[in-house]
Amino acid sequence: MQDLTEKTKTFWNERWAKVDFGKETKTCDYQISNFGRIKSIDKITGKERLLRGAKARGGLIMLNQKLKDDSTGIVYIHRFVAENFVTRPSAEKDYILHKDYDKANNKWNNLEWATELEWKEYQKQNPNHKGRPARTRNYKLNETQVRMMKRMLIRGKTKRKIIARKFGVSENCAYKIEKGIRWGHVNIDDEDNTGEI
């Protein structure tokens, strides 16, 4: 008789822990190892299958499954591995760092508990982390050009489309400058309205 229970190959020092979603799963139970590997175990046949998991927006790997009540259960692999296989030095260390900065490497020896301050320092050193970009100063127009443009728009002798083309901006941009949506802080003095361009 054939054995239907197919087992996944396990590394010699790999340990598995059952994933608890808080509710019952539909057809399979799930386990995650200290190597960050995920496997499903069919409830009826006992057949095991390795899963990749899904990549979350920030690059973290997660396991999300439909549960029996049609809700979705989500477990982040790095957090599960850290909580089950990495000793937490103190309660204030609530953040988990990837030592090699690779969010896909969820092995227990690559994860480390950290405080919020340590996590912020880690992010500063992280070559993959793109911080908030500095405010750009490369505007197409300067304040003098905006004043000239506003004067021309107020006078109404030239079409907005032609004025926009002259200053190298879109017609929509010229409209927003005219209405004060963009460059609203730039004012035209009364004496400037009489001058010619």
Grade residue 49 by pLDDT with cuts at 50, 70 and 90.
very high
Whether residue 5 is predicted with pLDDT greater than 70 in this model: the reply is: no
Same-domain check for residues 91 and 74: no
Mean pLDDT score of the chain, rounded to an integer?
Answer: 86
Same-domain check for residues 43 and 94: no
Which tens digit of pLDDT belongs to each residue from 123-149? 888 888 776 555 557 788 888 899 999
Same-domain check for residues 57 and 98: no
Which tens digit of pLDDT belongs to each residue from 30-39? 999 999 999 9
Q: Which whole number is the average pLDDT over 35-56? A: 93
Same-domain check for residues 40 and 63: yes
Q: What is the pLDDT of residue 7?
A: 76
Asked if the structure places residue 6 within a domain, the reply is no
Same-domain check for residues 162 and 188: yes
Whether residue 122 is predicted with pLDDT greater than 50 in this model: the reply is: yes
Asked if the structure places residue 3 within a domain, the reply is no
Same-domain check for residues 120 and 168: no
Q: What is the pLDDT of residue 89?
A: 92
Q: Which of 22, 120, 14, 129 is nearest to 67 (CA)?
A: 22
Same-domain check for residues 93 and 72: no
Q: Which two structure tokens, joined as six digits, stand for 172?
A: 């929509």
Q: Quote the CA–CA distance of 159 and 178 in Å, as a whole number.
A: 12
Q: How many domains, the chain?
A: 3
Grade residue 107 by pLDDT with cuts at 50, 70 and 90.
very high
Q: What is the pLDDT of residue 8?
A: 77
Same-domain check for residues 23 and 58: yes
Asked if the structure places residue 10 within a domain, the reply is no
Same-domain check for residues 150 and 186: yes
Percent of the chain residues topping a pLDDT of 70 = 88
Asked if the structure places residue 130 within a domain, the reply is no
Whether residue 175 is predicted with pLDDT greater than 80 in this model: the reply is: yes
Domain containing 188 equals 143-194
Same-domain check for residues 110 and 148: no
Asked if the structure places residue 131 within a domain, the reply is no
Helix (H), strand (E), coil (C) string for the chain: CCCCCCCCCCCCCCCEEECCCCCCECCEEEEEECCCCEEEEECCCCCEEEECCEECCCCCEEEEEEECCCCEEEEEHHHHHHHHHCCCCCCCCCEEEECCCCCCCCCHHHEEEECHHHHHHHHHHCCCCCCCCCCCCCCCCCHHHHHHHHHHHHHCCCCHHHHHHHHCCCHHHHHHHHHCCCCCCCCCCHHHHHCCC
Whether residue 190 is predicted with pLDDT greater than 70 in this model: the reply is: no
Asked if the structure places residue 100 within a domain, the reply is yes
Same-domain check for residues 185 and 159: yes
